[in-house]
Amino acid sequence: MSDQNFADRLLEAIEHKRSHVVVGLDPDLALLPPSVKGEFWPERSEDASREEVAACYRRFLSRLIEGLHEDIVAVKPQIAYFEALGSPGYALYEDIVSLARSAGLLVIADVKRADIGSTAEAYAHAHLDLVGADAVTVNPYLGTDGVEPFAARARTGGKGVFVLVKTSNPSSGEIQDAHLAAGPTVYEHVADLVNAWGEGTAGRRGYRSVGAVVGGTYPGQGAELRRRMPGAPLLVPGYGAQGAKAADVARMFDAAGTGAVVNSARAILYAYRKREGDWLDAAIAETREMKLALWEATGRG
């Protein structure tokens, strides 16, 4: 049921699949397995058109989704890598969202959009209504106006929103860690806004459908944010290629071992670079290792 509360759907998927894993879909031609590229370009891929590259990405991502869908709760298409192919890439983004939903996966569109109210409404329509993602990431810098059209679809419509609170990148502290005169840091202030924006979006399990992005690369701040936003599902990027480990993200789960999902992209998509055998087998093995490590980190091994 796509109009069921998003937080409920997310928590049910975690329990059903015994997994907290989200796979980030960041297709990058330079990193694609040589065997996949070889099907399209037996010789060289340098002169490939955008349409050809999109077709190659489609084959790669559809096999990946087919191979991983039982072990993961969601995929997180990173739209920047689709926009980097222009309109054929945007069409592929639409296609991949449908394909993942048909495979029973939740789709968190990593779009990090935000704008003035009327424009935020156009973005919410584009990604949640038209493309049909289950949830999106949004940027809080414009305040309530930039988030409300997304939150409205979380209150009614079964959609989810993950607001950037503390991002995983090295320079995230420049603005987010600044201390306010009133006491908290900027990211703590944003966490308080997330609590306000989530009102009216709670599901049967107490979690709300307005959650937060909290980088796994900042475990201390993550643990603190888990306490500060008890009703917010957390989307935790930074696992794998960016360096976060299961022990780092363990404190972002609640006492019941749920309430957070963890994203890994390049370490799974391009696992063939570090593992023997077929690229898809390598991706599956990497995913299962992450799945187990997280399940054990929540004390449920």
Catalytic sites, residue numbers? 112
Q: What are phi and psi of 33, to 5 degrees?
A: -55, 135
Which one, 164 or 283, has the nearer CB to a second copy? Answer: 164
In angstroms, how far is the first alpha carbon of the chain from the final one?
A: 30
Cα 285 to Cα 298: distance, rounded to the nearest angstrom: 20
Which of 32, 53, 131, 282 is in the footprint of a second copy by CB under 8 A?
A: 131
**236 lies in the site for a second copy, by CB under 8 A:** no
**117 lies in the site for a second copy, by CB under 8 A:** yes
**Amino acid, res. 201:** T
Which one, 176 or 209, has the nearer CB to a second copy? Answer: 176
Quick one: tokens of 258? 């749920």
Classify residue 277 by its DSSP letter.
Answer: S
Which one, 93 or 207, has the nearer CB to a second copy? Answer: 93
Stretch that binds a second copy, among 63-71, 81-89, 248-256, 279-287 (CB under 8 A): 81-89
Does residue 21 contact residue 287 with C-beta atoms inside 8 Å? yes
CB of 123 to a second copy, least distance (A): 5
3-state secondary structure 59-126: HHHHHHHHHHCCCCCEEEEEHHHHHCCCHHHHHHHHHHHHHHHHCCCEEEEEEEECCCHHHHHHHHHH
Stretch that binds a second copy, among 62-70, 139-147, 245-253, 279-287 (CB under 8 A): 139-147
**243 lies in the site for a second copy, by CB under 8 A:** no
**198 lies in the site for a second copy, by CB under 8 A:** no
Which one, 112 or 205, has the nearer CB to a second copy? Answer: 112
CB of 143 to a second copy, least distance (A): 3
Which of 3, 174, 199, 296 is in the footprint of a second copy by CB under 8 A?
A: 174
- Which residue in 85, 29, 32, 20 sits closest to 63, CA to CA? 32
Helix (H) or strand (E) holding 263: strand 260-264
Does residue 271 contact residue 279 with C-beta atoms inside 8 Å? yes
Which one, 196 or 256, has the nearer CB to a second copy? Answer: 196
Classify residue 236 by its DSSP letter.
Answer: E
Enumerate binding residues for a second copy (CB under 8 A): 26, 78, 80-81, 83-84, 86-87, 89-91, 94, 112-117, 119-120, 122-123, 125-127, 130-131, 139-146, 164, 167-176, 178-182, 186, 189-190, 193, 237, 242
